[in-house]
Structures are given as structure tokens and as C-alpha cells.
Amino acid sequence: MRVFKSFVLLFLVPMVKSSTVQLKNGGYEDIVIAINPELPEDHNIIRNIQAMIKEASTYLFHATKQRFFFKAVKIIIPLHWLPKPDYLNVKTESYDKADVIVANPFLKYGDDPYTLQYGGCGEKGRYIHFTPDFLLKDNLNNIYGSRAKVFVHEWAHLRWGVFDEYNNDAPFYVSVNSGTGSVEATRCSGDITGKYIVQSCTGNSCTTRECKYDQQTKLYEAGCKFVPDKTQNALASIMYMQSLPSVVEFCDRSTHNEKATNMQNKMCNYHSTWEVIMNSPDFNNTSQINSASPPFETSFSLLQTKDRVVCLVLDVSGSMTGNNRIKRLYQAAEIFLLQIIEIGSWVGIVTFHSTAQIKSNLQQIVSDNVRQNLIAHLPTSAGGGTNICKGVRKGFEVIKQKYSNLDGSELVLLTDGEDSGMSSCLTEVENSGSIIHTIALGPSAAPQLEQFSDMTGGLKLYATDTVDSNGLIDAFSGISSGSGNTAEQSIQLESTARSVAVKQWMNGTVTIDSTVGNDTFFVVTWDQSTSPPDILLRDPKGKEYRTSAFTVSNLNLRTARLNIAGTAEVGDWLYWIQNSHTVSQVISMIVTSRAASLTVPPVTVKAHMNKDTNNFPHPMVIYAEVSQGFLPVLGATVMATVEPQTGSAVELKLLDDGSGADITKNDGIYSKYFTSFKGNGRYNLKVHIQGRNKTVRLGRRQSRALYVPGYIENGEIKMNAPRPEVSDDEIQAKLGSFNRVATGGSFVVANVPSGGTTDVFPPCKIIDLEAQFEEDKIHLSWTAPGNDLDVGQADRYIIKMSESLLDLRNTFENATSVNTSSLIPNPAGTKESFQFKAESVTIENGTVIYFAIRAIDNAFLTSEVSNIAQAALFLPPKESLPGTLPPDVISDGINVSVIVLIVTGAVIVVLIVVSTTVCILYKKNGKGGPALRM
């Protein structure tokens, strides 16, 4: 029971992104499906989406035993598609917050539908990705099944946090029943029947044969596929092979295959997908519907995006004079207007204190002159009180001067002060149709500020008064368009700052990769002198840019800017900056750029926390998703900086190794637990990413619909075309060295003890335990947890073993202990290895032993029970082993030893016969007869 309680608690963790989906009386409403702006106009995409969801609604209704259906869906149409009378305006919906994205794959990787999942069991996913070909080409139905079934498969990933019940990395496992071993396909349920086939193709001619065993793995050989019978009796499972006509259910407790080596078992503690769904908030907040079909047919709203409209609403109250805030605001807003806001956007500026004032009505960014004109309206002085609602209303007024409504517009609201009257405009904000991004500056910004962002789907950003963190510049730099058009968006390559002593140097390297280089800016800021420091910038070909090449505006005397003409050179750009002032000062380097090509997507980074608010002592998780197009970038170095409201910043290295907070190895999502809480209040997240040509590469998405190799119909094997793959060489050739910086926004922490924290975090759960037989010994391996989750070093391990998987899961304490007295934990992230001889078990062919492990720290806090690892001893029949034959076997399969025995026996028989004949003849002829001649 205790294990299951911890399993249920996983569902209390908030999801990573703020989906707008609502569940009302079993019907899902406000599902957002966004079509990528790069796709050409094709209304068949819309029609097929509608047909898919309508059919999926009925399928989901029956699969969930008359509990859920799809009631209302919004489809976002790209700006460049021709407008139609039935298209409505987007409001707070946007491409980057959509539940489903329709976009081309990168590198023609294929059409696998998949769901991007960040978190563990029961945690909602980020989005579902469908390619246009998947929605348009009916021939893919034979590979994935109907689109409706695929959508339900992916919806279960997205909404309920279940995982796939197949495993491309471990497609087979050893199953032992009644002492008899066999190799089985990783599937759920185990009742799905089929054959194990290897297909070989030369040109258009293909042959198939039965799979053989591999001598090394004792499983089936590489290239072996499980080909299912088209006609099945098994009803489950949608998370394995939703394409089978008979499959209409999720695996439940009675049909679940807990022996299968899949992510569902690993991540959900061997519970079935239906058990996970039943423990979700959705299930607990709904009742079964007494109807044979969904009570409503799915309705659709078509929403079209429009030009980006942004109004800066900037606090100029008296407190903005302190800590150099008004000048820092100017610096940061200038970078936003010159480098971040996309061309074609409309921008206005409002300032507020006790009252509000329009500084600039909406102007469209069509030239650098417009950008410069907007900068001239940025505030340079401050004074007065703080009335946030007046600022917001004045921002709305600016937008309404051009547009009849506020739908889809954005406000960037910055304030450093408290305002007790904010509640007076909350309802107005919520119903406005405008998105409000909030920037809290300093420790006293109104604690209610984030409500504006929560209600409208805006970003929540925070900047401290620490000058050497670039917090305010990073906040403005993170407010890029949510349109999904990465070719237009500004990408931050560098943002670093530090205090530099008199006559000392700040130097560094910024790598410009081949995916960016257009509209590239190098910006140097400083905080004391009115004259710039000495700057030297050298491009990869040796061309040098000195201070005189940088522009310092008359209005902003502490910023020097260099815009590189054309496309910047690919490679390492080196800079040296000397503080020529008479006192120490903080100097910073900020570099931004845009995509070099409309056809090659740039490397991008999205940083997040797993939740926006947290109560101590619950930990948090930092995520950084690094990708190019829709493919994950592997092998990067990712450093996260968390800056608290008070106290020094904390640096953490995020990992993509499938241990600790990182649930999946090599998925491009780098993760780490965060537990270093320095007090209550806001925290700011920023990540630095560095990729080097020799270590980074692109990977493949996981949590995807199964690509079915073929089917068996009426005894005939009908194979599908092999799944398209991209070679590692091709992937590697597309990616070089790069630098990126991204803001992860802000989060708020409460209930941190004022007198400091004690050790309240146990070691994290081990999720990558593996076991195997090595002769008469057992070898275990796993990644070491920490003292506090995945940081530090645990004190000791407890390892248990059992011949029953479920007994080990349910009653870990009662299982047989393994002697670990010689096992000393290594620091977190280290690969552990432990070998021992199982004295209490007789190891023979067919033996299966299960293992689990817990870690204990020096405060006697104990981790959760790890994933359960299986060690199976299975000796397949020798005649089924492919490859080279043993030396005592000849080509026709006859054993040499047997031949020797047969020949030897024959010789002996001949000798006996000859000897007997001689004796008889000798007696018959008498002693004196003629000699017998041989």
C-alpha cells in the first residue's frame, strides 16, 4: 500500500506547460491544435484533423468505459493562409502553447506521431506532433492504424502521463513459465500473437525467414521483428499496437504484462496504463456516462493568427530610481526593440506611475528607423506612486486605437513596486483576449503580479537588482514571438556579465554556428563610466572590430552595439574587453542572432521548471530542451543558474543520462533536481548551453506510435515498407559547435524555514538498474543517486532480490537481502557496478531473479524503491544460433564426435567378426592342416 501511495502522489505534480484544456462532465474542451506557419495552405489538413478528432472521440469514449470524449477543439491557422469569413481571431492561444502541433519533420526523418514527455509517470506531456503527411496520406494507416486510434494513443501520453508498452531499444525479453524459458516480444498484453520474422531485401525483391537466436544476447538476432496476426482475440493495448482491429482497450491489472521491458513498467512501477489513468485527476473528477456514444459531437473553432502587436507598459514610479533600475530598464528595452521584436510587428509604449501616459502609439517595425524612433520614447527618469491597473488600461487603449478588439495582442508589463489596487482590473484582464507577460524587478514587486500572466497565458519573468546577472536584459530577450516561426525569432547566443577590476580584462568565446548568423548583434554594457571600455572582437577569419566600430547612442551612454553586416562568419568569435575606468565596474557581453536560412531550422533551447509555485520541502525540477527542428540535440553541456530573491545564485549542471530527475536518456531534455532554496519569494532561471562539434549530435524522438513492420493475414506474411531512418553520419554532419542562452522564467517558493534548512531530501529513486548473469555470478549496474536527490553522495545501499517481481515491488523489506557491506556509493551521476554470487539460489537454465535497490543518506533518509531489474538465464537451442558454428559441428549439421564413435564402433565389430571366423576355420582344418593365408 505504501508503494502505491507514492505512485499516486506523482499525480499531484503540476504539468510543465500551461495547457488551456478543460474537462467538463467528461468532455475535453479548449484543445488547441496549431498548424506550423511554414506549411503551405492545404485545407485537407483541417478536414482530416476534424475527421480524426470526431472518430477519436467515440474511440476514446469506449476505451475509457464511457467516461471521456472530445467536446471542443480550436485549430490555429497560419497568418499567410488566405482569410475566410469563418476564421475567428486567436486570443490567448498560440502555436508555442498548443496541445497538438502539425509541422514537417526535420531531415525527412519520417512521420512517426509522438508526444514530447518531460516528466515521470502521471505527469502531463508538452505536446503531440503530427506531420502533414501523416494527416494527408492514407497509406500510412496500414503502418500506424487509423488516425483516430493514433490520436487516442498520443492523448494518453499527453494527458495522463502513461508510457509506451513496446521498446525499440529492448524489443525482446526472456519469459520463464514453469521452468521453461522462451523469448517474447516486448508487448502488452502478452496475449497478442504473431511470428518472429527477419526480412531481407535486394532492390524490390524481399524474402522473409524465421528469426534465430543470438549467441551473445541469448535473445533474437538483430533485425528480428515481431509481426502480429491481423486477426486477434486480445482487446488490449492501445499503448502497444493501437493499429490492430481488435485493440480497443488500455491494459488493466488483469491483462497487463509486467514482465515486458518497456517504459510503462519502468516509469510506472509495473502498474498498467489503466491503473495510471484511474489515478489521474481527470478520472477522479468525472463519472461514467450512461450512454452508448459520446453525448456531444466534437465542435471546432478555426482561429487565424495576425501580425504581432506588443505594447510595453513600463513602471516609472519613484522606486525605479533606486539600484540604477531606470537605466537598466532602458538598456534592456533597447535591446528588445532593436534586436528581439520581429520585423513586421506592431509596437507601442506606455509608462505609468500614479497615472499612465502613452509615449508611443503603435508603429510597425518595417525599418531600423522605426526601431530607433521607438527607442527615443523609452523613459529615462522616474517619480511618483504605482498604479498598475492604470498602466494596463492605457496599454489596452494603445492597441484599441488600431484594432477593434484586444484578441491576440500582448502587453509586456514591468514593475518594481507593490500596488494594493491590482484586483480592480483582474476581471478586465482575464476577459480581454490579450496576453500579458510580466517582469517583476527587484524584491518588492507586487506578489500578485503573476496573476496577470496566469490568467492570460503570458510569460512570468523576474530580475533581481544584481547587476552582474543580466537578469533584466535576459527577461526582455526571452519575450520572442509564440508564432512558431523560428526563422524570424531572435536567438540569444551569449549573455554573460562580471565585475572587472581596473585595467583588468574580461574575455571569452562566442561560437556562431551554421544555423544562425543573420541580424547578429554584439552588445557590450557597463555600469559606471560614461565612456566605453576598450573592446576587441575577432571573427573566425581574423578580422578585428575595435571600440570605434561599436555604436554608442547619445541617449544610452552605457551600451555599445555592433551589428554584423550580412551573415556572420561561422566559427569562434573571440572578444577581449578591458575596464579602462578608474574603478571596478560590471561589464557584460550579449550576443543575439537569427536563423541563417529559411529551410534549415536553428538550434533552439526552451528552459522550464516543473512548476511555477512550490512549497518547501518539495523539490523542483529544472528542464532544458535542446533541439534542432523537432530532433533532440545530444551531447551538449547545459548549465543552469538559479538566482534567488536574496542570496547568491546557484549553478547546476543538467544531464540527459536517464537518471535522477532525467527520466529518459538521450532525448535532448536535460534535467536536474533543484533543492537549494535560499528563502521565500521569486527565483529566476537561466541556462547556458554549449555544444562542441566532436560531442554533439542529433537524436530521435521517443514516446511515439509504433511503426508496425507488417501483419499476418490468413497465414500470409505481408510486410510494410521498412521504417525510414537517417544515418548517424548524416545527422552528425548537420550539427556543429554552438552557444545558446535561454531564460526559464521565474517561480515562487514559500514555507522555507527562516532559520535555514535541514536535510529533508532523500537520495533520488534509481531508475536505470540493470542485472545480468555472468557465469555463476550476477552483475548489477546503475547510476549513483545523491545525498539530496541527485546532488551529493549517498551513504549506503540496500539491495534485495526475489524470484517474484510483484513480491519485490510490493514487499521490498521482506525480500532476500544482498550483502552490500563492501559497496560504498560514489558521487551522484557516477556509473555504479556490483558483482556477487547468489548463494541462496540454484542457478540453472530457466532461472529468473529480480533485483531492486534503495539508497540511504547520512541522515538516514531513504530513497524510493528503484526500478526492478531482471536477470534471466536462458540457453536457447544451439541449432537456432545464427553466425559461426562451434568447431565440433560441420556444415551439414552432423556432430564430429558422433561420427568418430560410429566409425570406432564399426571397426570393433569388424574385428570381432574376423577373429571369430579365424577361430572357426582353425578348428575345422585341425592343427596339422595347411596354414591359413591372410
Nearest to 3 by CA among 695, 774, 813: 813
Distance between CA atoms of 725 and 723, rounded to whole angstroms? Answer: 6
Q: Which helix (H) or strand (E) is 152 found in, with range?
A: helix 147-160
Strands 435-441 and 410-415: parallel
CB burial string 399-422: b at 16+ within 10 A, e below: beeebeebbbbbbbbbbbbebeeb
Tell me the DSSP string of 254-292. Answer: TT--TTS-SHHHHHTTT--HHHHHHTSHHHHT-----SS
Amino acid symbol at 823: L
What's the residue count for the chain?
934
Q: How far apart are the first and last CA of the chain?
A: 90
Is the separation of the CB atoms in 753 and 726 below 8 Å?
no
Sheet holding 585-595, edge to edge: 491-500, 585-595, 516-526, 559-567
Q: Under 8 Å CB-to-CB from 808, ≥6 apart: which residues?
A: 800, 801, 802, 815, 850, 851, 852, 868
Distance between CA atoms of 30 and 71, rounded to whole angstroms? Answer: 8
154 is catalytic: yes
* CB atoms inside a 10 Å sphere around CB 72: 17
What phi, psi does 905 have (nearest 5°)? Answer: -60, -40
Tell me the DSSP string of 743-781. Answer: EEEEEEEE---TT------PBPPP---EEEEETTEEEEE
The neighbouring-strand residues paired with 202 are: 205
Nearest to 509 by CA among 534, 532, 537, 535: 537
Q: Is 843 helix (H, G, I), strand (E, B) or coil?
A: coil
Distance between CA atoms of 291 and 363, rounded to whole angstroms? Answer: 55
Distance between CA atoms of 194 and 197, rounded to whole angstroms? Answer: 9
| DSSP code, position 442 | S
Nearest to 102 by CA among 37, 156, 11, 155: 37
Distance between CA atoms of 351 and 330, rounded to whole angstroms? Answer: 12
Residue with cell 481571431: 89
Give how far Cα 442 sits from Cα of 414, 422, 477, 647, Å: 11, 18, 18, 13
Q: Is 873 helix (H, G, I), strand (E, B) or coil?
A: coil
Distance between CA atoms of 371 and 338, rounded to whole angstroms? Answer: 6
* CB atoms inside a 10 Å sphere around CB 203: 5
Is the separation of the CB atoms in 117 and 276 below 8 Å?
no
Distance between CA atoms of 225 and 442, rounded to whole angstroms? Answer: 59
Nearest to 237 by CA among 264, 212, 259, 215: 264
Q: Which helix (H) or strand (E) is 473 found in, with range?
A: helix 471-477
Catalytic residue among 55, 93, 123, 154: 154
Distance between CA atoms of 921 and 550, rounded to whole angstroms? Answer: 122
Tell me the DSSP string of 97-139. Answer: G-SEEE-PPSTT-----EEE--SSTT---SEEEE-HHHHH-GG
Q: Which helix (H) or strand (E) is 390 found in, with range?
A: helix 388-400
Q: Which residues are catalytic?
A: 154
